[in-house]
Copies of this chain bind each other. A is one copy, B any other.
Amino acid sequence: MNPLENIRIVLTDPKFAGNIGSICRVMMNMGLTDLALVSPREDLNWNEARKMAYKAEPLLDQIKTFQTLEDAVADCTVVAGTSARTGLYRDHAYLPREIAPVILESAAHHKTALIFGREDKGLFNEEIAVCTHIINIPSSELYRSLNLSHAVMVCCYELFLLAGSPAYEPPAECSPEADGAMRERLYAAWSAMMLETGFCEKEKLDHMMLGLRRIFSRGKLTGNDVKILMGLAKQSRWVAAALQREREKQVSGSVTQ
């Protein structure tokens, strides 16, 4: 399979339909075909989208829509989100040229996603948390923020160039990686474990989980890895519950004594 066709461009809550149309054209120019929207607004001007798509209407007509970002990437292994901001785990960001081989290698065997945030505010922290990798498109300090379709262009251009380069060879095989849905089940189990074992307070949980998500996204996370990590969380939660029962027993024991 052509790896470019395994790469899904995901737009979270885009405000301007013209950008959606422009992105269809950019994608078709660069050999991509899979566009998804997360919770698209009711009032998007689809005529404007059609105008900007200009000869890329086939992509516009097969856009997928999802209610949540988690749903949009549930079948994707590598999930790379773009961010113009720094800080809060955004410092481990890749350049588009650095991430291109990671994405193509993933896309040679798995659905892979590139996430772009809303025009004015980018991706929220809880959306960044869903990403396995962060991409930072270099830009001038005088004006950091790119138009949405131009940000998509830069990323797709790097992927198209690398995929077409004679030097590029897709990996022959690849261990089965965990997809978005598996990863989310893992993080849910670990969140519960962290609370139930008393590892952290509820207020600190989101921050802790962001850190953990980064750690687990640094390399590939296979299906087997997830099974082990899930089992570990399950065991700790069982221990925590058992301890709780033990304590309750002692309390009630001391009362009845």
Contact A164 B138 (CB under 8 A): yes
Q: State the CA gap A184–B56 with chains docked (Å).
A: 40
**Copy total for this chain:** 2
Q: Chain B residues near A142 (CB, 8 Å)?
A: 28, 31
Q: Are A29 and B139 interface neighbours, CB within 8 A?
A: yes
Tell me the minimal C-beta distance from A193 to chain B in angstroms.
43
Convert A87-99 into 0s and 1s, putting 1 for each residue whose CB lies closer than 8 angstroms to a CB of B: 0000000000100
Q: How far is the CB of A197 from chain B (nearest CB, A)?
A: 45
Q: Are A29 and B160 in contact (CB under 8 A)?
A: no
Using A138-B164, A149-B150, A150-B149 as known contacts, say yes or no to A28 and B143 having CB atoms under 8 A apart: yes
Q: Does A235 contact B (CB under 8 A)?
A: no
- Residues of A at the B interface (CB closer than 8 Å) are 22, 25-26, 28-31, 52, 54-56, 97, 138-140, 142-147, 149-150, 153-154, 157, 160-161, 164
